[in-house]
Chain A
Amino acid sequence: MSRGSALTPGQLAVRTLIAVGYVAFSMLGVAAVALFLSTLTDSALLASLGALAILIASSLLLTIDASRALQPYLPTRYWLSFIDLFRNPILWRNVVRGVALQGVYVVVLLGGAWANFTTKDITS
């Protein structure tokens, strides 16, 4: 059977490590949503459910053609781009965009949480 160019074990290890880092970093956006929501409500359950709702909505919108204009800004848009790390040569484009997008979500939502959370929070 014919095969494409094979990755060496060393390449594979490095790329897997980068992929793990990328996937972990990709979750920060959703974590930031949860953190921001937790400054709006006293209920931990509400904050985590809200983050989950945004996660599911984002994944659903990605499958719909009509939301194409919205798709570049969805937090899960570049989640699957870790696959691009295993192409030869690596296709960095979407990985870089994924990191930048998560960075924007983290900065904006952490900023919102910081702005919203000005006093001590001892209510329960």
Chain B
Amino acid sequence: MTFLRRWLVVLAGIAVLVALPSAVAALPSHTPELSASQLLTRIQHSASTPYSGYAESTGGLSLPVTNQFSSIADLFGGQSQLRVWWRSTNDWRVDSVGIAGETDVRRSARGYWTWNYESNSATWAGQPQAPSVRLPTAVDLTPPELGRRLLSEALPREASRIGSDRIAGHSAAGLRIRPGAQSGAHCWATSPWASR
């Protein structure tokens, strides 16, 4: 009898532990009341909003490239763990964290410092202006940067609000973009969520 009672206690405890993550995810989200165009403007002008955080991206595109562009292949086909400290578009640091090392890029007004732990080397690229055509780098995978890129050409009339959601534990406002909403010829839509 003790045996059964004790097992019931343990099973109840396990059930609570298992339910905990979904209970946290189900917490109601609160976002400020904003119209679609207000939210869109905020996202498009968010480049100078400072933040710091951690982001993960998983790529599903296997590129048939060898050593020369291995960083691109890793970015598109593998998992990237990023740590970001952001002040503005020309003042930030983004670390690509690996299992036993990291590659850090520090952008300042005077150029780019790239620090690679495995090769124990730091390189300096003194470009005050980013080139207009370049290969994607880790900084392009940060969620705010992706969101701004996705919405850079969006017009207020193409935007509509959808419900807010809880993303990575934060309340985030939902926005839907239907490109060419008036012609109705395009049928794809994108739904980013934005959070402070």
Task: List residues of A whose CB falls within 8 A of some B CB.
Answer: 1-4, 80, 83-84, 87, 91, 93, 104, 107-108, 111-112, 114-116, 118
Asked whether B6 lies within 8 Å of A91 as measured between CB atoms, the reply is: no
Q: Which B residues touch A112, using CB under 8 A?
A: 10
Q: Which A residues touch B6, using CB under 8 A?
A: 114-116, 118
Given the interface contacts A83-B99, A87-B102, A118-B3, does A111 sit within 8 Å of B122 by beta carbon?
no
Asked whether A93 lies within 8 Å of B14 as measured between CB atoms, the reply is: no
Q: How many chain-B residues does the 8 Å CB contact rule pick out?
A: 22
Asked whether A3 lies within 8 Å of B122 as measured between CB atoms, the reply is: yes
The DSSP consensus for interface residues of chain B is mixed
Q: Mark B94-123, 1 if CB is under 8 A from A, else 0.
A: 010101101010000000000101001110
Interface set, chain B 46-83, CB cutoff 8 A to A: 54, 83
Q: Mark B110-153, 1 if CB is under 8 A from A, else 0.
A: 00000101001110000000000000000000000000000000
Asked whether A80 lies within 8 Å of B122 as measured between CB atoms, the reply is: no
User: How distant is the Cα of A94 from the Cα of B38 in the complex, in angstroms?
Assistant: 36
Q: Which A residues touch B95, using CB under 8 A?
A: 87
User: How distant is the Cα of A80 from the Cα of B81 in the complex, in angstroms?
Assistant: 15
Is B185 in contact with chain A by the CB < 8 A criterion? no
Q: Mark B6-31, 1 if CB is under 8 A from A, else 0.
A: 11011001100100000000000000
Asked whether B117 lies within 8 Å of A4 as measured between CB atoms, the reply is: yes
Give the 4 A-B residue pairs with the shortest CB-CB distance, closest first. Answer: A115-B6, A2-B122, A111-B10, A115-B7
User: How distant is the Cα of A3 from the Cα of B122 in the complex, in angstroms?
Assistant: 7
Given the interface contacts A2-B121, A91-B83, A115-B9, does A80 sit within 8 Å of B3 by beta carbon?
no
Q: Which B residues touch A108, using CB under 8 A?
A: 10, 13-14, 17
User: How distant is the Cα of A112 from the Cα of B99 in the complex, in angstroms?
Assistant: 34
Instruction: Give the contacting residue for A4; candidates B13, B54, B97, B104; CB below 8 A.
Output: B104
Instruction: Give the contacting residue for B54; candidates A2, A93, A115, A116; CB below 8 A.
Output: A93
Q: Which A residues touch B120, using CB under 8 A?
A: 1, 3
- Determine the residue in chain A with the shortest Cβ distance to B95: A87
User: How distant is the Cα of A80 from the Cα of B42 in the complex, in angstroms?
Assistant: 40
